[in-house]
Structure 1
């Protein structure tokens, strides 16, 4: 009887110990190879006058902006995706509502390297640019000079990329990049806007052949991205894209250069100053002369934006178990 009791107690202890071990055992957490970063902001500026001897017009401006990033990284493979949007408006006393900024951009880069140490990658890059709403040569708001997908730009190419994650530096060179320009507004296409072949007319002004809605090019693309903190709470970001077509006037370089300074006031309030310079030989400028829209040759386009507003940034790492 005594032996049976000892055996029963020992069995119960072993069973309890085993059960406790099962309870304590957990499947370890692992961090997903996906990482995300999301940033949305709204800048606003307003000025008003009451009996102001120097004169001036009341005005208010707003700018909605966002930047969303998704990165997949595993061993020697890296896949970066980015969505950027900006839309700004201005209302000034005595004038209609006017657009001040309009951008929709998607970037995607797939890169592979031979080892986990090298900063050089074999890379394929995709880029898409267009806008949300019609653009006008103010004060003429009857005839638009641009529209959604008029233009829209697609870049798709292969090449090599240098990526230094610690220095936030990227340099990409593609000797083989396909560029497509879309002008899906037929009136603008008939005018030959943004480099597409314009419509052909007979001697009576009737259209014989409609303007082409697309234009394709094959050339070399060079891009650079660099971000750094130049002083405490002051971030500097530089982005530049250079493209030249092999077949049509090789040596004419399309330039898209953006510089931005972002100053942090606190976690949610930030001020920014930015400039963008664009030159494209295929883009002809339009201006108003005696209420008539006149087309002239290509010129350097320059935009400068300064604002202060609320920015909300949230990062996320997906946790999986397995």
Structure 2
């Protein structure tokens, strides 16, 4: 009898037990389905200027900004869970001047959403936002007393509402009629000063401490956020983020604003330039100014920060 490949295959099926054959199939075709989508991005921006016999004068300086963005998104059926961690830390060193901090941020955003069908762009959502910083901040050139520290302040938003998410337009909007805002000032000295809106310490007429300032403050109000991120031109990406919050009890209608705008210009896979702005207004944050060597607390003001950098970026 002539042995053919067909006959060999038939004998193989008959000889191997059924359970073993199933094991072979299971090991050769693994289940690789995952509903998690991950993206990590780290970068280093830097700038430097140096002078040698420069007739019009100038100070040598160097700046660096280390940043990272880490995404963990879960999508399955009508359930979506988006998680984002953003970190930044920047410093600047000028000739004959101490090292100074230029940027410092830790931001954690998490949004859980559920929709009734696969067509709708509207989700029932719950959102958590947390913001703080790594190290102390100062009203330079005074570096004796910090005006902010890690977890002083820290802001926690937790609420429920509705989210509109359009993947094609890369547009996201969230509205929550019930959001709790917690402000933390875990440094007791700053809390005693009533920094960042917490209740300050009380003293008697002789200046003796009666009660320490509270290290937290809780509010309940309305939160509206909006994000749009898209390629507006070839290799030019715009990221717009806006957050608006007002408290029901304390001065309703007085809106806290946090608006971030960033423009990324991609040179190649590893080199990028970016321009960023951040506008903040919070009625609870009092401005501080150095006058004749003394820190003077003034009223709330619009805060504005602008960043321009070019550096290395790696995504994995």
Q: TM-score range by the shorter chain?
A: over 0.9
Distance 2:132 2:222 in 1: 21
**Secondary structure of 1:144's partner?**
coil
CA apart distance, 1:19: 7.0
Equivalent runs, 1:108-187 vs 2, <5 Å? 108-187=110-189
Distance 1:178 1:169 in 2: 25
Q: Could you list the runs of 5+ residues in structure 2 that have no partner in the other structure?
A: none
CA apart distance, 1:206: 1.1
- Of the three residues 210, 214, 217, the one matched with 1:215 is 217
- Of the three residues 5, 10, 13, the one matched with 1:14 is 10
CA apart distance, 1:29: 3.7
CA apart distance, 1:146: 0.3
CA apart distance, 1:13: 6.0
> Which gives a bigger RCO, structure 1 or 2 (Cα 8 Å, sep 6+)?
1
- Of the three residues 28, 34, 37, the one matched with 2:36 is 34
**Secondary structure of 1:15's partner?**
helix
Equivalent runs, 1:52-131 vs 2, <5 Å? 52-131=54-133
CA apart distance, 1:203: 1.0
- Of the three residues 46, 49, 53, the one matched with 1:47 is 49
Distance 1:14 1:197 in 2: 83
CA apart distance, 1:15: 1.4
Distance 2:278 2:35 in 1: 34
**Secondary structure of 1:272's partner?**
strand
Partner of 1:318: none
Distance 2:142 2:297 in 1: 14
CA apart distance, 1:16: 2.9
Q: Deviations over 1:178-206 (max 9, x none)?
A: 00000001110000000000000111111
Partner of 1:320: none
Q: Deviations over 1:263-304 (max 9, x none)?
A: 000100000000000000000000100000000000000000
Q: Could you list the runs of 5+ residues in structure 1 that have no partner in the other structure?
A: 315-322
Distance 1:301 1:33, change over 3 A: same
**Secondary structure of 2:97's partner?**
coil
**Secondary structure of 1:205's partner?**
coil
Distance 2:15 2:34 in 1: 31
Partner of 1:319: none
CA apart distance, 1:12: 6.3
CA apart distance, 1:31: 2.5
**Secondary structure of 1:135's partner?**
coil
Distance 1:196 1:87 in 2: 26
Q: Which has the higher strand share?
A: 1
> 2:286 matched to 1:284?
yes
The runs of at least 4 aligned residues of structure 1 exceeding 2 Å deviation read 10-14, 16-31
Distance 1:118 1:51 in 2: 66
Which 10-residue stretch deviates more, 165-174 or 298-307?
165-174
**Secondary structure of 1:54's partner?**
coil
CA apart distance, 1:107: 0.5
